[in-house]
Amino acid sequence: MKKKFNVLLVGFGYWGPILARNIQSNLHFNIHSICDSNSYNLSKAKNIYPNSICYSSFKESLENSKIDIVIISTPTNTHYKFTKMALLKKKHVLCEKPLSLKLKEVKFLISLSKKNKKFLFVDYPFIYSESVSFIKNIIAKKKLGKALIYESIREKAPYRKDTNVIWDLGIHDFSIIQYLTNLTPKKFNITLSRTKKNYKSDFATLNLFYKNDFSAFIKLNWASPIKIRLIKIYFEKGLLIYNENEDIYKISIYEKTSKGFKHQLPLVYFNETLQLFINYIGNTLLNNNLKDFNFNFSLNLTKTISKITKNE
C-alpha cells in the first residue's frame, strides 16, 4: 500500500472538523494528531478520531517526527507564527485563509518555504471548485463574449475579532477574480461599517475597476441571518449566475438572443470543493515538484487586499 501523509491538524473549532472530515476520507492522508488549546474542542476531536494523538500545545505537537504536513485552522492572528514554526521544523503547511494580513509576513513565509523546500498551501477553496473552473472555461473560450461586470453578495458568517469582513469573506471573491482573470484592480472605492462593538468591520461594499473595461461590485456582511453566496457575471452576450447554495444547478446562464434570453442550466459536477483541494494537495506532495508550484498566488492576493483595506 502507498504511504499516507501524516497530518497534524491545529484548531478544531468551526472549520477544523470540516477539514478533518475531508482529510480523513482522502486516500492520501491520515490524521495523525490534532491540537487545540480548548479542552472541550480537543475532547470532541478525540471522540471522532480516537486513533489520533491529541495535544493542547502546538509547540509540543510539532515535536512528533512522523508528521508530514501541518494543517492550521486556528484564528488568523496565529497563522503567521504557527506557519513559521511548522516550516522551520521542515513540515509542509496548509494554512487557512488569510495567511497573514501583512504583506511582509507573507513574503517571509514564502521565502522560508522555498528555502526549506516545503510546500505552503493556503485554503482558497473556490479556485478548486468545479463551478469556478466551468466559469473560467466560459471566459477563456469567450462563449458569452467579454466579461464586463462581476457582482457578488456574500452574507452570514461567524463574527471575528482579528480580521474584518473583507479579509474573511471578501478574500473568496478576490481569489476567484484573480484566478479567472489574472487582473488586479487599478482603482477602487470601499465602505466598511460595524454593527457590533469589539469586533472588526462586519459590513462592506467594494467597487473595483480593472483594465479591459472589467469591474466588480462586492457586498459582504456577517450580520445577516440568511446565508447568501451569489455571484453574477455580466458578459457582452449574456449573464451567468453562480449560486453556491444551490444543491444541483449551481450555475445558470441567460444567453442573449434576438428574441430575449435563452436560459440554460448546465450540469456541472459538484464534488465537494474541499475534497478536490485536499486531493490536489496529496498529488502535489506525491509529485514533489516545487519548481512548478505557484507561490505567487497568495502574495498577489495579499498585495491586492492589503492595498484596498489599508490594513484596517
Stretch that binds ligand NAD, among 73-81, 189-197, 212-220, 304-312 (CB under 6 A): 73-81
DSSP state of 186: S
Q: Report the residue number, 79 or 138, with the smaller CB distance to ligand NAD.
A: 79
- Specify the 3-state DSSP secondary structure of 8: strand
Q: How far apart are CA 109 and CA 103, in angstroms?
A: 10
Residue 198 binds to ligand NAD (criterion: CB under 6 A): no
User: Which of 4, 15, 136, 184 is close enough to bind ligand NAD by CB under 6 A?
Assistant: 15
What's phi and psi for 27, nearest 5 deg? -65, -20
User: Which of 30, 33, 52, 78 is close enough to bind ligand NAD by CB under 6 A?
Assistant: 78
Q: Report the residue number, 50 or 158, with the smaller CB distance to ligand NAD.
A: 158
Among 194, 155, 196, smallest CA distance to 172 is for 155
User: Which of 26, 33, 52, 76 is close enough to bind ligand NAD by CB under 6 A?
Assistant: 76
DSSP state of 127: G
How many whole angstroms from its chain centre is CA 62?
24
Q: Judged by CB under 6 A, how many residues of this single chain contact ligand NAD?
A: 24
**Residue 212 contacts residue 186 (beta carbons within 8 Å):** no
Q: Report the residue number, 41 or 178, with the smaller CB distance to ligand NAD.
A: 41
Residue 252 binds to ligand NAD (criterion: CB under 6 A): no
Residue 16 binds to ligand NAD (criterion: CB under 6 A): yes
Residue 209 binds to ligand NAD (criterion: CB under 6 A): no
Stretch that binds ligand NAD, among 68-76, 113-121, 248-256, 291-299 (CB under 6 A): 68-76
Smallest distance, Å, CB 235 to ligand NAD?
27
Query: Could you give the angle at which helices 103-115 and 296-309 cross, rounded to 10 degrees?
Result: 170
**Residue 304 contacts residue 178 (beta carbons within 8 Å):** yes
84-103 binders of ligand NAD (CB under 6 A): 96-97
Residue 152 binds to ligand NAD (criterion: CB under 6 A): no
User: Which of 4, 24, 37, 293 is close enough to bind ligand NAD by CB under 6 A?
Assistant: 37
Q: Is the dihedral of CA 177, 123, 190, 158 positive or negative?
A: positive
Residue 125 binds to ligand NAD (criterion: CB under 6 A): yes
Residue whose Cβ sits closest to ligand NAD: 13
Q: Which residues contact 40 (CB under 8 A, 6 or more apart)?
A: none
Smallest distance, Å, CB 85 to ligand NAD?
11
User: Where does the chain show beta strands of DSSP type E?
Assistant: 5-10, 29-35, 53-55, 69-72, 92-96, 120-123, 147-155, 187-193, 203-209, 215-221, 228-235, 238-243, 251-257, 260-264
Residues 155-174, one symbol each (x = binds ligand NAD by CB under 6 A, - = not), give ---x---------x------
Q: Residue 95, Cβ neighbours under 10 Å: how many?
A: 26
Residue 10 binds to ligand NAD (criterion: CB under 6 A): yes
Q: Which residues of this protein are in contact with ligand NAD, per CB under 6 A? A: 10-16, 35-38, 41, 58, 73-76, 78, 96-97, 123, 125, 158, 168
